[in-house]
């Protein structure tokens, strides 16, 4: 009996600290290691499904920290799920919703582990359980975020040479706007006119600064501007969206699909960054994509510097979206000194591959997980 064999026996969370190859800077945080919460869901048949929650330097990019995610899973989400059929994904999401409000990253990590466990039990990739893949590879952007243009040029050239990435997202807002523009000018002249550059301001600029600075971004042929103003300043974002010649990418301004509908209705941007940390689950991420599309908003496959585990969960759901106009940015596995899986996701010809095999298509590297697990 498949339903009984795949009842949820246990849900365990482990905090992981995974060093990065270099410092990664954002307007509001800076990291030298990635904080993850690894989730293992054991089913009655003995199969263990894995999922991952990602954070950026504590509760700064979003309100969840590794500690809060660990506590939400251990004390609230796990008790709500134990004994339930793992393959009742929607019902399990409802149960998690009743057990905890928001806590999106925690819920998404658990749901990822359920899809992995059920996929392994059925011999099916998670993408098949999510409607079936319409693509098996996705163009993948690299983020330049050391703040040192000399280092960044070198890094970008290496990615181009290896044919891993040909589009770059430049993190702005941790420096003065003048320094940001100067750095961008150096990157543009060093990389040439043909390389696609997008920028992520991570909420750092005011409306007035945007009005003043966007013409310079236009001159540098920036293709997309991500979340220039604070997430809560929706009207300001809408006014900027109406006057800019560069499309705005909505990131922190919309976590839930309902928030997305609100910002879309007042015209805050024309592209949306899909992330499990915002949607709180794979099924919910698909619904967010539907909301975006119904408003004519294009889709961008966002990340929060996940390891191959979290990237695989995103790839499983991204692969099923009929449209994904801007590709993805799941460079996370390549910014870690050591990934958490035996076979990291494959980056080839400027694309990231949807891993094959059942569930999320990845296998934990238990030695590395043990080495990077935070000692309590």
Q: Which stretch binds ligand MUC (CB under 6 A): 65-73, 105-113, 128-136, 300-308?
A: 300-308
Residue 284 known to be catalytic: no
Residues 141-170 within binding reach of ligand MUC (CB under 6 A): 143, 145
Minimum gap (Å) between residue 226 Cβ and ligand MUC: 6
Please name which of 245, 265, 131, 244 lies closest in space to residue 253, comparing C-alpha atoms.
265
Q: Which residues bind Mg ion (CB under 5 A)?
A: 200, 226, 251
- Please identify which residue in 180, 200, 306, 351 interacts with ligand MUC, judged by CB under 6 A: 200
Q: Point out the catalytic residue in the list 167, 306, 329, 351.
A: 329
Q: Point out the catalytic residue in the list 107, 171, 275, 286.
A: 171
* CB of 62 or CB of 100, closer to ligand MUC: 62
> How many binding residues for ligand MUC (CB under 6 A)?
12
**Site membership for ligand MUC, residue 303 (CB under 6 A):** yes
What does the DSSP 8-state code read for residue 193?
Answer: T
Q: Which stretch binds ligand MUC (CB under 6 A): 46-54, 72-80, 121-129, 298-306?
A: 298-306
Please name which of 111, 366, 339 lies closest in space to residue 347, comparing C-alpha atoms.
339
* CB of 127 or CB of 244, closer to Mg ion: 244
Q: Is 271 exposed, middle or buried (0-12, 13-18, 19+ CB in 10 A)?
A: buried
Alpha-carbon gap, residue 152 to 171, rounded angstroms: 11
**Site membership for ligand MUC, residue 329 (CB under 6 A):** yes
Question: Could you say which of ligand MUC, Mg ion, none residue 167 binds, taking C-beta under 5 to 8 angstroms by partner kind?
Answer: none
* CB of 129 or CB of 249, closer to ligand MUC: 249
Give one word for 205, left, alpha or beta, with left for phi > 0 and alpha for psi -120 to 50.
Answer: beta
Question: Could you say which of ligand MUC, Mg ion, none residue 300 binds, taking C-beta under 5 to 8 angstroms by partner kind?
Answer: none
Minimum gap (Å) between residue 54 Cβ and ligand MUC: 9
* CB 41, CB 6: distance < 8 Å: no
* CB 116, CB 49: distance < 8 Å: yes
Minimum gap (Å) between residue 177 Cβ and ligand MUC: 18
Strands 196-200 and 167-171: parallel
Q: Which stretch binds ligand MUC (CB under 6 A): 109-117, 262-270, 302-310, 351-359?
A: 302-310
Residues 18-47 within binding reach of ligand MUC (CB under 6 A): 26
Backbone angles phi, psi at 336, to 5 degrees: -90, 145
Alpha-carbon gap, residue 281 to 36, rounded angstroms: 16
Residue 329 known to be catalytic: yes
- Please identify which residue in 202, 279, 307, 308 interacts with ligand MUC, judged by CB under 6 A: 202
Contacts of 189 (CB under 8 A, 6+ apart): none
Contacts of 23 (CB under 8 A, 6+ apart): 30, 31, 32, 145, 146
Alpha-carbon gap, residue 281 to 104, rounded angstroms: 7
* CB of 226 or CB of 365, closer to ligand MUC: 226
- Please identify which residue in 171, 239, 257, 330 interacts with ligand MUC, judged by CB under 6 A: 171
* CB 314, CB 128: distance < 8 Å: no
Alpha-carbon gap, residue 24 to 31, rounded angstroms: 5
Beta strands in 147-250 (DSSP E): 167-171, 196-200, 222-226, 248-250
List active site positions: 171, 329
Q: Which residue ranges make up the site for ligand MUC (CB under 6 A)?
A: 26, 61, 143, 145, 171, 200, 202, 251, 302-304, 329
């Amino acid at each position: 009996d498949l339903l009984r064999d795949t009842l949820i026996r246990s849900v365990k969370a482990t905090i992981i600290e995974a060093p990065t190859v270099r410092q990664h800077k954002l307007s509001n945080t800076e990291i030298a290691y990635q904080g993850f919460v690894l989730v293992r869901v054991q089913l009655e048949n003995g199969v263990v499904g894995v999922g991952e929650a990602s954070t950026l330097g504590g509760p700064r990019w979003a309100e969840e920290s590794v500690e809060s995610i660990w506590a939400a899973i251990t004390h609230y989400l796990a008790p709500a799920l134990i004994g339930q059929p793992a393959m009742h994904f929607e019902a399990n999401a409802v149960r998690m919703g009743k057990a905890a409000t928001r806590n999106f990253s925690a819920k998404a990590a658990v749901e990822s582990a359920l899809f992995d466990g059920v996929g392994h039990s059925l011999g099916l990739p998670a993408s098949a359980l999510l409607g079936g893949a319409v693509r098996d590879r996705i163009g993948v952007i690299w983020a330049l975020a050391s703040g040192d243009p000399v280092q960044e040029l070198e890094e970008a050239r290496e990615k181009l040479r290896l044919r891993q990435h040909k589009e770059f997202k430049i993190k702005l807002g941790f420096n003065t706007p003048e320094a940001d523009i100067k750095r961008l000018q150096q990157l543009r002249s060093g990389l040439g006119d043909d390389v696609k550059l997008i920028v992520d301001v991570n909420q750092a600029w005011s409306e007035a600064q945007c009005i003043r600075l966007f013409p310079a971004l236009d001159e540098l042929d920036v293709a997309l501007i991500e979340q220039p103003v604070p997430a809560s300043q929706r009207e300001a974002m809408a006014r900027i969206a109406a006057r800019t010649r560069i499309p705005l990418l909505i990131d922190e301004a919309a976590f839930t699909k309902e928030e997305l509908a609100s910002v879309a209705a007042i015209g805050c941007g024309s592209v949306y960054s899909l992330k499990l940390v915002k949607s709180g689950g794979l099924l919910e991420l698909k619904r967010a994509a539907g909301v975006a599309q119904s408003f004519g908003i294009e889709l961008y496959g966002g990340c929060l510097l996940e390891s191959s585990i979290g990237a695989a969960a995103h790839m499983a759901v991204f692969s099923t979206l009929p449209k994904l106009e801007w590709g993805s940015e799941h460079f996370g596995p390549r910014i870690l000194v050591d990934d958490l899986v035996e076979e990291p996701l494959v980056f080839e010809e400027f694309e990231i591959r949807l891993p094959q095999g059942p569930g999320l298509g990845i296998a934990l590297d238990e030695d590395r997980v043990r080495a990077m697990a935070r000692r309590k």
